[in-house]
Structure 1
Amino acid sequence: MKNKSGYPSVMPYLIVKHAQKFLDFTEMVFGATLQHKEMRDEKYIKHAEVKIDDCVIMFADSIDQYPPQPGSLFIYVNDADEIFQKALDHGATIIMDLANQSYGRSGGIKDPVGNTWWITAEII
């Protein structure tokens, strides 16, 4: 089924502690743009959406009813070394060092709110 909303057919929806920190991280590291943000109150995000290239990630702050559900994301970038370092500079931790793989130059980090990102660039 093709949707008419303009959204991709499948999008990750992450429930995290400190959703604003997640938003800041995606903007600073991956150049994400905020598409929508709805607050639960002055402190907590009820629902937000960022866009990275043609992809949308939806996310919200966890609450008792919806505990944290961090995810694992694979992202192609132009320069894996640059983005990997930028992620570390903004609070990420290494889970797999960058290395050349059969599918590209790739490494894994955990962002400041617990999501895993597999940062990969094609090797030309």
Structure 2
Amino acid sequence: MIKGRIIFIFIVLLSFFISSHHTLAFDWYENIEMKVTILTTDIEYEWEYENPNDFEYEKGQTIIKGKKAKEEYEQLLSHLDLSNEKFDDQHILKLEEIGIKNIERVEVHLVDGEGNYKTWLWKKGT
């Protein structure tokens, strides 16, 4: 009897976690296109996505396309919160968690599934 209640409570809590996590997630695959540019003191990074399956990642002069570029894009978005209207220093600290150091500027351009254009911009010191 107690085991059944514990399993029930676990399922309810798991369902709550999954549904709340889903509502906070950024559904990038619903967008038409997105471009993220990060400028550091040394390197310029760029991630591009065009729906449905066109991915490109640039680090300095190196350009990667396809599956590896998609993996880089997904890793970036796991550390980039686009649910807010603008970036702050906390967003930049999250990007540094994936190894992007000395960030000077972050720029995001997005065309969502409804054709709306959105831009996020962060500059160091502003």
Common fold: TM-score over 0.5: no
Structure number with larger C-alpha Rg: 2
Bigger fraction of residues in helix: 2
Bigger fraction of residues in strand: 1
TM-score by length of 1: 0.28
